[in-house]
Amino acid sequence: MPSSKEDLALGIVDFLKTSMADGTIAEEDRDSVEVAVECLSEIFKVDLSRKQEVFPKQTLLSIFQAYEKVRDAQAARAASSTPAATSTPAPAAATPSTPTVSDEDKAKAEALKAEGNKFVASRDYEKAIDAYTKAIELDGTNKIYYSNRAAAYSASKAHDLAIKDAEKALEIDPKYAKAYSRLGLAKYASGDPQGAMEAYKAGMDAEGNGGSDAMRKGYETAKARVEEDLYSAVPEDSGVTERGTGGAAGAAGGMPDLSSLAGMFGGGGGMPDLSSLMSDPRISQMAQQFMSNPGALEGLMSNPSVRSMADRVRGGNMPSMQEMMNDPNIANLARNFMGGSGDNAEQ
């Protein structure tokens, strides 16, 4: 006795043959459908002479259409029997969206950035900040606008605002080296040399190849301040008389050993107290340079002007600090260790 599957296959074959006859199936598809009919007939042993036995008054299509009507009626009854107020549709989940900036607004923002750069060049930082702010209002996705405004804020001594803008630029692009430079400068100026050192280090990593000269200089300056602050925190009776460990110049990035310099002046008989020397900002800055360049101390000890001054000290004639710095040879020597750097707005 034929199975239900065979009867179903008979219905499908009948449906396909009827669809070819009434034009439902396009002429170009007839060959493919005829192959399908032959395959189904062979696999399921379809005997079309049994059509009246299996489907005496209906076809497979009419049976399916009747099923659709029953299904739709059941769905309608289920919907009408459910009170309308029994449930509240859940609010659609908020999806984050990236702001779309029109080409017109981008062009206006670029013009404002260029205007801000001109104000920075003329040192009119208040107008520069205003121009950058308007550019950001038009296009808040541009890292350069935040970075340039951070530079203008730093020049205006608004270091906290500069830090926020630099951090915003880095949110947009975590590998934006210029923003790390501005973050380092702002943190250093706000009294956070440790944070500045970390920012410059991240900038060096972003630049690659050890970082640019400017980034390395910022890092070394911040590092020197961190070490100076640590040294200042050491109690006077701790026995520590120099930065670093072991007293070796630059051995751990600390203060070079100045004992050899003190020996030139008579081993301490006429040499002023080291803490007194370091209170003078010019001497302090020279000492920081010694820290980053230990070889400079050896050059200083062999300088004729320093040797001459040492001879005076041994003879009991210790010059005052003002007298030493008024000596053109000593002053020129000090100036060799002084320097500066700048930071321009990005085009």
pLDDT of residue 170: 96
Q: Are 264 and 304 in contact (CB under 8 A)?
A: no
Q: What separation in angstroms does the CA of 119 have from each of 128, 162, 344? A: 5, 17, 11
pLDDT of residue 127: 95
Q: For the chain, which domains are there?
A: 4-69 (1.20.5.420), 103-229 (1.25.40.10), 248-335 (no CATH)
Write down the pTM of the prediction: 0.45
Q: What separation in angstroms does the CA of 18 have from each of 9, 11, 23, 45, 311? A: 14, 10, 9, 19, 123
SS (H, E, C) the chain: CCCHHHHHHHHHHHHHHHHHHCCCCCHHHHHHHHHHHHHHHHHCCCCHHHHHHHCCCCCHHHHHHHHHHHHHHHHHHHHHCCCCCCCCCCCCCCCCCCCCCCHHHHHHHHHHHHHHHHHHHCCCHHHHHHHHHHHHHHCCCCHHHHHHHHHHHHHCCCHHHHHHHHHHHHHHCCCCHHHHHHHHHHHHHCCCHHHHHHHHHHHHHHHCCCCCHHHHHHHHHHHHHHHHHHHHCCCHHHCCCCCCCCCCCCCCCCCCCCHHHHHHCCCCCCCCCHHHHHCCHHHHHHHHHHHHCCHHHHHHHCCHHHHHHHHHHHCCCCCCHHHHHHCHHHHHHHHCCCCCCCCCCCC
Token representation of residue 237: 């009776």
Q: Which residues of the chain have pLDDT under 50?
A: 85-88, 93-95, 240-272, 274, 337-342
Token representation of residue 180: 């790390």
pLDDT of residue 91: 52
SS (H, E, C) 69-129: HHHHHHHHHHHHCCCCCCCCCCCCCCCCCCCCCCHHHHHHHHHHHHHHHHHHHCCCHHHHH
pLDDT of residue 271: 46
Q: What would the pLDDT profile of 170-195 be if each residue is shown by its tens digit?
A: 999 999 999 999 999 999 999 999 99
Instruction: Give the residue from 69, 66, 61, 67 showing the smallest Cα distance to 19.
Output: 61
pLDDT of residue 223: 93
pLDDT of residue 146: 96
Q: What would the pLDDT profile of 39-79 be if each residue is shown by its tens digit?
A: 888 888 888 888 888 778 778 888 888 888 888 888 888 87
